[in-house]
Amino acid sequence: MISVTVTEASQVAEARRRATGVAQDLGFDQIADGRVAIVATELATNLVKYATGGEMLIGTFEDETGAGVEILALDRGPGVADIAGALRDGHSTGGSPGTGLGAVRRQSQTFDIATWPGRGLVVLARIAGTVPKASNIGPSPVPRWGAVGVPLRGETVNGDAHCIRTHGDGWTVLVVDGLGHGPQAAQASEAAVRAFRNHELEQPADIIAAVHAGLGHTRGAAVSVARYEPGGGTLVFAGIGNVAGAVVTGGETKRLVSLPGTAGLVARRIQAFDQPFTPRSLLVMCSDGIGTNWSLDPYPGLVEAHPTLIAAVLYRDFARGRDDATVMIVRDFQA
């Protein structure tokens, strides 16, 4: 994802330019590109007017709900006490016409928002290239997974990567953190994703072994794999290095075991571990760019939000700022 700092009015145009650039790369037509421009402009303008430490993340999405441009607006301001009011046209606390968040929601095919007093605001907007006919429009489905991946500031590529493959109502997911950052870290992560896709139907420990064997020509990486089959009620997790995993269920967080080593270099022991996983559980996987002290406890109701929104909150509040940062959230398909 592209990170754009938005703390002053001169940065609004840059946020819009970067967002429409992503849309054009996807082949959006003029009308769809215009929707992206409106969303980016309104979100960036809100950050300038009301936020502290405003940041926009711009990227793409592709899952069972569709594909298109994904925009996140993150801030560390006072939060919004009245979300329903803030979404009404004409509501404003800054002297503007008050059409910002309402316009964003209208132009987006998926929209979610989270705020808590004193903990700022996070907004997710997804804009597809085509809009369903009015007769086909219904409640936006919530996907089983979402992720935020941001390169270290100053780098043009992300040395982290993630991939999810579905099989029936189950899934297997990989998060990989190439050693260091920059192009060589990205090459290691890309090689790990290729090996994962070639062995995705194998057991997590066997996938890790295949990734380890396939990274010998790279600088190496930390890598973790998780597999979930709904019928078993168990998540199987295997990892080498510092890609951390945890299962959150009913307010309780269980950290998962990743063994020491670096895939492609040193892996003295590869072992998978089982963890109970229910339709109310969340899998959280983080690269080393996210601090290990994260918790969902300070964010009431966040577990029910869009997975990408959950990932964005953890990125905003726990990114270390000295490495690429990735957060992936996965839940039961039937949740």
Residue pLDDT, tens place only, 69-87: 999 999 988 777 667 767 7
As a whole number, mean pLDDT of residues 187-206 equals 97
Write down the pLDDT at residue 190. Answer: 98
Average pLDDT, integer, range 173-193: 97
pLDDT band of residue 65 (cuts 50, 70, 90) is confident
Identify the pLDDT of residue 71: 98
Question: What is the helix (H) or strand (E) element at residue 307, kind and residue range?
Answer: helix 307-318
pLDDT > 70 fraction of the chain, expressed in percent and rounded: 91
pTM recorded for the entire structure: 0.92
Comparing 141 with 290, the larger pLDDT belongs to 290
Residue 139 above 70 pLDDT? no
What is the total residue count of the chain?
335
Model confidence at 280: pLDDT above 70: yes
Least confident of 92-96, 299-303, 329-333: 92-96
From residue 58, alpha-carbon distances to 61, 82, 119, 125, 137 in Å are 10, 26, 22, 10, 25
Cα dihedral across residues 102, 106, 107, 110: positive or negative:
positive
Question: Token pair of 274, please?
Answer: 């089982």
- What are the distances in angstroms from CA 15 to CA 3, 32, 270, 276? 9, 17, 43, 42
Domains defined along the chain, listed by start: 2-136 (3.30.565.10), 145-331 (3.60.40.10)
Alpha helix ranges (H) inside the chain: 12-25, 30-50, 83-86, 100-107, 183-198, 204-214, 307-318
Is it the case that residue 90 has pLDDT exceeding 80? no
Residue 278 near residue 300 (C-beta atoms within 8 A): no
pLDDT of residue 332: 84
Res 226 pLDDT > 70:
yes
Reading the block at residue 248, the tokens are 């959150």
Q: Report the SS3 class of residue 293.
A: coil
